[in-house]
Amino acid sequence: MDRAGVLKSEAPVRLREVVAAQLRRMILAGRLAPGERLVEDRLAELLGVSRNPVREAIRVLEAEGFVETAARRGALVATLDEGQADDIFEVRLALEPLGARLAALREDPILVARMKEVLGEAQDPTADRDLDHLADLHSELHSLIFEMTGNAYLVAIAIPMVKRGQWVLRQRSPLRDPRAWQQHHDLIAAIEAGDPDLAEAEARRHVLTMRHELRQEPGCC
Protein backbone atom coordinates (compact mmCIF):
# COMPACT_ATOMS: atom_id res chain seq x y z
CA MET A 1 0.00 0.00 0.00
CA ASP A 2 1.35 3.47 -0.88
CA ARG A 3 1.71 6.31 1.60
CA ALA A 4 -1.59 7.90 0.56
CA GLY A 5 -3.36 4.62 1.17
CA VAL A 6 -1.80 4.26 4.61
CA LEU A 7 -2.80 7.78 5.60
CA LYS A 8 -6.30 7.23 4.32
CA SER A 9 -6.69 4.03 6.36
CA GLU A 10 -5.21 5.57 9.53
CA ALA A 11 -7.15 8.84 9.45
CA PRO A 12 -10.49 7.42 10.68
CA VAL A 13 -8.70 5.71 13.57
CA ARG A 14 -7.04 8.96 14.61
CA LEU A 15 -10.33 10.86 14.35
CA ARG A 16 -12.09 8.23 16.45
CA GLU A 17 -9.41 8.58 19.11
CA VAL A 18 -9.64 12.38 19.06
CA VAL A 19 -13.43 12.29 19.40
CA ALA A 20 -13.20 9.65 22.17
CA ALA A 21 -10.73 11.86 24.06
CA GLN A 22 -13.04 14.87 23.74
CA LEU A 23 -16.09 12.93 24.93
CA ARG A 24 -14.11 11.36 27.79
CA ARG A 25 -13.01 14.81 28.94
CA MET A 26 -16.61 16.05 28.80
CA ILE A 27 -17.70 13.12 30.97
CA LEU A 28 -14.86 13.64 33.44
CA ALA A 29 -15.67 17.35 33.68
CA GLY A 30 -19.38 16.66 34.21
CA ARG A 31 -20.44 18.36 30.97
CA LEU A 32 -21.99 15.02 30.06
CA ALA A 33 -23.74 13.93 33.24
CA PRO A 34 -24.22 10.35 34.51
CA GLY A 35 -27.33 8.88 32.92
CA GLU A 36 -27.37 11.42 30.10
CA ARG A 37 -28.26 9.99 26.70
CA LEU A 38 -25.55 10.34 24.05
CA VAL A 39 -27.25 11.55 20.87
CA GLU A 40 -24.92 10.99 17.94
CA ASP A 41 -26.31 13.80 15.76
CA ARG A 42 -26.06 16.37 18.53
CA LEU A 43 -22.54 15.33 19.53
CA ALA A 44 -21.40 15.27 15.90
CA GLU A 45 -22.65 18.83 15.42
CA LEU A 46 -21.08 19.95 18.70
CA LEU A 47 -17.68 18.47 17.82
CA GLY A 48 -17.79 19.37 14.13
CA VAL A 49 -17.49 15.82 12.81
CA SER A 50 -19.70 13.26 11.10
CA ARG A 51 -21.76 10.70 13.00
CA ASN A 52 -19.45 7.78 12.20
CA PRO A 53 -16.44 8.79 14.36
CA VAL A 54 -18.87 9.69 17.16
CA ARG A 55 -20.44 6.23 16.95
CA GLU A 56 -16.99 4.59 17.00
CA ALA A 57 -15.83 6.80 19.89
CA ILE A 58 -18.89 5.83 21.91
CA ARG A 59 -17.95 2.16 21.44
CA VAL A 60 -14.44 2.93 22.72
CA LEU A 61 -15.86 4.65 25.81
CA GLU A 62 -18.26 1.78 26.38
CA ALA A 63 -15.31 -0.63 26.46
CA GLU A 64 -13.60 1.66 28.99
CA GLY A 65 -16.69 1.75 31.21
CA PHE A 66 -17.63 5.40 30.67
CA VAL A 67 -20.71 4.54 28.61
CA GLU A 68 -23.42 1.92 28.99
CA THR A 69 -26.19 0.82 26.65
CA ALA A 70 -29.79 0.57 27.84
CA ALA A 71 -32.70 -1.07 26.00
CA ARG A 72 -34.78 1.48 24.07
CA ARG A 73 -32.60 4.35 25.31
CA GLY A 74 -29.34 3.66 23.53
CA ALA A 75 -25.95 4.88 24.79
CA LEU A 76 -25.87 6.64 28.15
CA VAL A 77 -23.12 8.11 30.29
CA ALA A 78 -22.43 5.44 32.89
CA THR A 79 -23.26 6.06 36.53
CA LEU A 80 -20.35 5.61 38.92
CA ASP A 81 -21.76 4.57 42.28
CA GLU A 82 -19.87 3.89 45.50
CA GLY A 83 -19.67 0.16 44.88
CA GLN A 84 -18.22 0.65 41.41
CA ALA A 85 -15.67 3.14 42.72
CA ASP A 86 -14.54 0.59 45.30
CA ASP A 87 -14.39 -2.11 42.59
CA ILE A 88 -12.02 0.09 40.60
CA PHE A 89 -9.65 0.24 43.56
CA GLU A 90 -9.83 -3.52 44.01
CA VAL A 91 -8.66 -3.92 40.41
CA ARG A 92 -5.99 -1.27 40.87
CA LEU A 93 -4.77 -3.10 43.96
CA ALA A 94 -4.22 -6.20 41.82
CA LEU A 95 -2.75 -4.57 38.71
CA GLU A 96 -0.66 -1.62 39.87
CA PRO A 97 1.72 -3.56 42.16
CA LEU A 98 2.25 -6.03 39.30
CA GLY A 99 2.88 -3.20 36.86
CA ALA A 100 5.39 -1.55 39.20
CA ARG A 101 7.21 -4.86 39.77
CA LEU A 102 7.54 -5.57 36.04
CA ALA A 103 8.55 -1.97 35.28
CA ALA A 104 11.36 -2.22 37.85
CA LEU A 105 12.71 -5.26 36.03
CA ARG A 106 13.29 -3.21 32.88
CA GLU A 107 15.53 -0.25 32.15
CA ASP A 108 13.97 2.67 30.32
CA PRO A 109 15.53 6.01 31.31
CA ILE A 110 13.37 7.89 28.80
CA LEU A 111 10.11 6.73 30.41
CA VAL A 112 11.50 7.30 33.91
CA ALA A 113 12.53 10.82 32.92
CA ARG A 114 9.03 11.50 31.63
CA MET A 115 7.53 10.19 34.89
CA LYS A 116 9.67 12.68 36.78
CA GLU A 117 8.62 15.50 34.45
CA VAL A 118 4.95 14.68 34.97
CA LEU A 119 5.38 14.53 38.73
CA GLY A 120 7.31 17.79 38.77
CA GLU A 121 4.59 19.55 36.80
CA ALA A 122 1.87 18.12 39.03
CA GLN A 123 3.61 19.40 42.16
CA ASP A 124 4.61 22.79 40.81
CA PRO A 125 2.38 25.30 42.65
CA THR A 126 3.00 27.89 39.92
CA ALA A 127 1.87 25.56 37.10
CA ASP A 128 -1.62 24.97 35.74
CA ARG A 129 -3.77 23.75 38.67
CA ASP A 130 -6.78 23.00 36.48
CA LEU A 131 -8.30 19.78 37.80
CA ASP A 132 -8.78 18.30 34.32
CA HIS A 133 -5.10 18.86 33.59
CA LEU A 134 -4.01 17.37 36.91
CA ALA A 135 -6.21 14.31 36.37
CA ASP A 136 -4.62 13.88 32.94
CA LEU A 137 -1.16 14.03 34.49
CA HIS A 138 -2.10 11.41 37.08
CA SER A 139 -3.39 9.09 34.36
CA GLU A 140 -0.29 9.65 32.24
CA LEU A 141 2.03 8.87 35.14
CA HIS A 142 0.37 5.54 35.92
CA SER A 143 0.04 4.69 32.23
CA LEU A 144 3.79 5.25 31.80
CA ILE A 145 4.49 2.66 34.51
CA PHE A 146 2.39 0.07 32.71
CA GLU A 147 3.98 1.02 29.39
CA MET A 148 7.42 0.46 30.90
CA THR A 149 6.53 -3.18 31.66
CA GLY A 150 6.63 -3.98 27.95
CA ASN A 151 3.75 -6.40 28.55
CA ALA A 152 1.15 -5.71 25.87
CA TYR A 153 -1.50 -7.84 27.60
CA LEU A 154 -1.12 -5.97 30.88
CA VAL A 155 -1.20 -2.62 29.09
CA ALA A 156 -4.41 -3.57 27.26
CA ILE A 157 -6.09 -4.48 30.55
CA ALA A 158 -4.66 -1.74 32.73
CA ILE A 159 -4.95 1.44 30.65
CA PRO A 160 -8.78 1.42 30.52
CA MET A 161 -8.74 0.87 34.29
CA VAL A 162 -6.43 3.87 34.72
CA LYS A 163 -8.77 6.03 32.65
CA ARG A 164 -11.82 4.86 34.59
CA GLY A 165 -9.95 5.51 37.84
CA GLN A 166 -9.38 9.06 36.63
CA TRP A 167 -13.14 9.53 36.86
CA VAL A 168 -13.05 8.81 40.59
CA LEU A 169 -10.01 11.00 41.16
CA ARG A 170 -11.40 13.84 39.08
CA GLN A 171 -14.50 14.00 41.24
CA ARG A 172 -13.16 13.24 44.70
CA SER A 173 -9.41 13.43 45.10
CA PRO A 174 -7.54 16.59 46.20
CA LEU A 175 -5.21 16.52 43.21
CA ARG A 176 -4.69 20.27 43.49
CA ASP A 177 -2.74 19.67 46.71
CA PRO A 178 0.93 18.96 45.78
CA ARG A 179 1.16 16.67 48.84
CA ALA A 180 -1.31 14.28 47.21
CA TRP A 181 1.46 13.35 44.77
CA GLN A 182 4.21 12.74 47.32
CA GLN A 183 4.07 8.92 47.34
CA HIS A 184 4.84 8.85 43.63
CA HIS A 185 8.42 9.93 44.37
CA ASP A 186 9.13 6.71 46.29
CA LEU A 187 7.37 4.64 43.63
CA ILE A 188 9.38 6.13 40.76
CA ALA A 189 12.62 5.87 42.76
CA ALA A 190 12.04 2.15 43.37
CA ILE A 191 11.35 1.56 39.68
CA GLU A 192 14.42 3.53 38.64
CA ALA A 193 16.57 1.62 41.15
CA GLY A 194 15.44 -1.68 39.61
CA ASP A 195 14.05 -2.97 42.91
CA PRO A 196 10.91 -4.99 42.02
CA ASP A 197 10.00 -5.89 45.61
CA LEU A 198 10.15 -2.28 46.76
CA ALA A 199 8.35 -1.01 43.65
CA GLU A 200 5.55 -3.52 44.20
CA ALA A 201 5.26 -2.52 47.86
CA GLU A 202 5.22 1.21 47.06
CA ALA A 203 2.51 0.74 44.43
CA ARG A 204 0.36 -1.23 46.85
CA ARG A 205 0.89 1.40 49.56
CA HIS A 206 -0.13 4.15 47.15
CA VAL A 207 -3.37 2.44 46.07
CA LEU A 208 -4.31 1.59 49.66
CA THR A 209 -3.62 5.17 50.78
CA MET A 210 -5.73 6.64 47.99
CA ARG A 211 -8.59 4.27 48.71
CA HIS A 212 -8.44 5.08 52.44
CA GLU A 213 -8.49 8.82 51.78
CA LEU A 214 -11.42 8.54 49.39
CA ARG A 215 -13.38 6.46 51.85
CA GLN A 216 -13.09 9.26 54.39
CA GLU A 217 -14.96 11.63 52.13
CA PRO A 218 -18.75 11.92 52.61
CA GLY A 219 -20.68 9.78 50.17
CA CYS A 220 -17.59 8.07 48.85
CA CYS A 221 -16.66 4.42 48.53
Percent residues over pLDDT 90 in the chain: 49
Looking at residue 89, what is its pLDDT? 87
Question: Right CATH number for 82-215 from 1.20.120.530, 3.40.50.720, 3.30.70.260, 3.30.499.10?
Answer: 1.20.120.530
Concatenating the DSSP letter of every residue in 23-65 gives HHHHHHTTSS-TT-B--HHHHHHHHTS-HHHHHHHHHHHHHHT
Q: Mean of the per-residue pLDDT values for the chain?
A: 85
> Is the pLDDT assigned to residue 78 strictly greater than 60?
yes
Higher-confidence residue: 111 or 213?
111
CA-closest candidate to residue 68, choices 96, 32, 40, 38: 38
Q: What fold does the segment set 3-77 form as a domain?
A: Arc Repressor Mutant, subunit A (1.10.10)
| Residues contacting residue 170 through CB under 8 Å, at least 6 positions apart | 28, 29, 131, 132, 135
Looking at residue 3, what is its pLDDT? 37
Higher-confidence residue: 166 or 66?
66
Confidence band of 171 (pLDDT split at 50, 70, 90):
low
Higher-confidence residue: 107 or 1?
107
Q: Where are the domains of the chain?
A: 3-77, 82-215
Confidence band of 7 (pLDDT split at 50, 70, 90):
very low
Looking at residue 170, what is its pLDDT? 66
Distance CA 14, CA 202 (A): 36
**Which of 17-21, 128-132, 183-187, 216-220 has the weakest average pLDDT?**
216-220
**What are the strands, taking DSSP E only, across 59-154?**
67-70, 74-77
